[in-house]
């Protein structure tokens, strides 16, 4: 009996030690990947940042920025403040540049229904609910009450505009009955270019919200093309914003594939870990405050990000792929601006 108890005790100590070593390794490797604060980066970023919690201002935008034909915001789906950002960026670009064409990560059928909602004098809420539920088929984490509310805001804004500035949605994603072998991103590029030709929009500018990977302007080590990289390859001047989160909650709706908490919210998928890590995020954290949205410009004069892979190197422990930039490429080859969202709430289920 004593021998048996010794074996049990030894086994328990061994398993506990292994678990402790694993946790220690996990913590240390996360810390090493994130790196400590970089004073050179912080000095630059301090001069090239502005708080945008309530609205977008033009402090960090120069003449070259306004020459872009396409403006893209890349999000990691599930965070409520991204819907707020999307609305504010659209309104800003509409007022500043007359941008009225919203390109969307949705199929043409859903976009047609959304445009019908935007032009309907009755503001038909049932039509909008159909749109939000249709989006759930492709992006469950985006289909939400906040998405519904955002398009109601855009409807109200649209009603006050002259006809020449009214917002129209162009759905460029693959239709669900499209059985072609091309990737979604290549399909988006083809559909976008076809829309420009069919609607005679050669002289227009465009804005849209997409998933994070779609707005990267260069392929990563995995070699997969993206919507933005194909635009850039085609010579279409594009500006990409991406958003990262700190101390925020993500909406994780119930699916058979994922273990989801009862309230469908998780707070452990942020840019500083533990399950997602963005190299250099501590520099942005240093220059922002809780309950805020801060915009950082990465391509200004004397930027260190022209020769650095900070903020584009991303390690995902569970969800999604790692983002490993190609050898010889740097942060500004992928995007030019970052929004840091702090203490964002999760999206919520449509009521």
Q: Return the domain boundaries, the chain.
A: 39-342
pLDDT recorded at residue 25: 43
Mean pLDDT of the chain, nearest integer: 91
* Low-confidence winner among 137-141, 150-154, 188-192 (lowest mean pLDDT): 137-141
pLDDT recorded at residue 222: 87
Pairing of strands 337-342, 293-297: antiparallel
| Residue the block writes with tokens 């819907």 | 83
Q: Write out pLDDT tens, residues 9-37.
A: 555 555 655 555 545 545 555 565 567 68
| Torsion angle, alpha carbons of 249, 254, 257, 258, to 10 | 30
Q: Write out pLDDT tens, residues 301-341.
A: 999 999 999 999 998 866 667 888 999 999 999 999 999 99
3-class SS string, 81-111: HHHHHHHHHHHHHHHHHCCCEEEECCCHHHH
The rounded percent of the chain whose pLDDT value lies above 70 is: 88
Backbone angles phi, psi at 242, to 5 degrees: -125, 155
Of 318, 321, 315, 249, nearest to 278 by C-alpha is 315
* Low-confidence winner among 30-39, 191-200, 219-228, 316-325 (lowest mean pLDDT): 30-39
* pTM across the whole model: 0.92
Count CB-CB contacts under 10 A for residue 201: 16
DSSP state of 79: B
Residue 192 has pLDDT above 90, yes or no: yes
Band of residue 195 on the pLDDT scale cut at 50, 70, 90: very high
pLDDT recorded at residue 8: 59
């Amino acid at each position: 009996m004593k021998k048996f108890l010794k074996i049990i005790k030894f086994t328990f100590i061994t398993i506990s030690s292994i678990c402790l070593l694993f946790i220690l390794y996990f913590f240390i490797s996360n810390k090493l990947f994130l790196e400590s604060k970089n004073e050179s980066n912080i000095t630059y970023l301090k001069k090239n940042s502005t708080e945008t919690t309530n609205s977008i201002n033009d402090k960090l935008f120069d003449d070259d920025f306004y020459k872009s034909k396409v403006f893209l915001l890349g999000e990691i789906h599930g965070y409520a403040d991204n819907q707020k950002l999307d609305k504010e960026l659209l309104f800003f670009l509409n007022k500043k540049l007359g941008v009225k064409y919203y390109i969307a990560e949705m199929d043409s059928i859903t976009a047609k229904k959304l445009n019908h909602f935007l032009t309907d004098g009755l503001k038909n809420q049932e039509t909008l609910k159909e749109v939000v539920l249709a989006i759930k088929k492709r992006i469950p984490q985006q289909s939400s009450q906040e998405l519904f509310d955002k398009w109601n805001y855009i409807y109200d804004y649209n009603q006050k505009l002259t006809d020449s500035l009214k917002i129209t949605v162009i759905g460029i994603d693959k239709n669900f009955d499209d059985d072609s072998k091309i990737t979604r991103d290549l399909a988006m590029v083809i559909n976008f270019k076809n829309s420009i030709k069919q609607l005679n929009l050669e002289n227009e500018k465009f804005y849209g919200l997409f998933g994070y990977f779609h707005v990267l302007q260069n392929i990563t080590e995995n070699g997969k093309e993206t919507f933005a990289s194909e635009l850039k390859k085609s010579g279409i001047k594009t500006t990409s914003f991406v958003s990262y989160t700190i101390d925020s909650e993500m909406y994780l709706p119930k699916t058979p594939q994922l273990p989801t908490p009862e309230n469908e919210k998780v707070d452990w998928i942020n840019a500083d870990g533990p399950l997602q890590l963005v190299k250099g995020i501590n520099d942005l954290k240093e220059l922002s405050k809780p309950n805020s949205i801060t915009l950082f410009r990465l391509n200004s004069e004397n930027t260190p990000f022209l020769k650095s892979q900070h903020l584009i190197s991303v390690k995902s422990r569970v969800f999604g792929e790692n983002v490993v930039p190609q050898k010889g490429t740097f942060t500004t080859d992928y995007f030019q601006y970052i929004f840091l969202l702090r203490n964002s709430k999760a999206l919520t289920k449509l009521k």
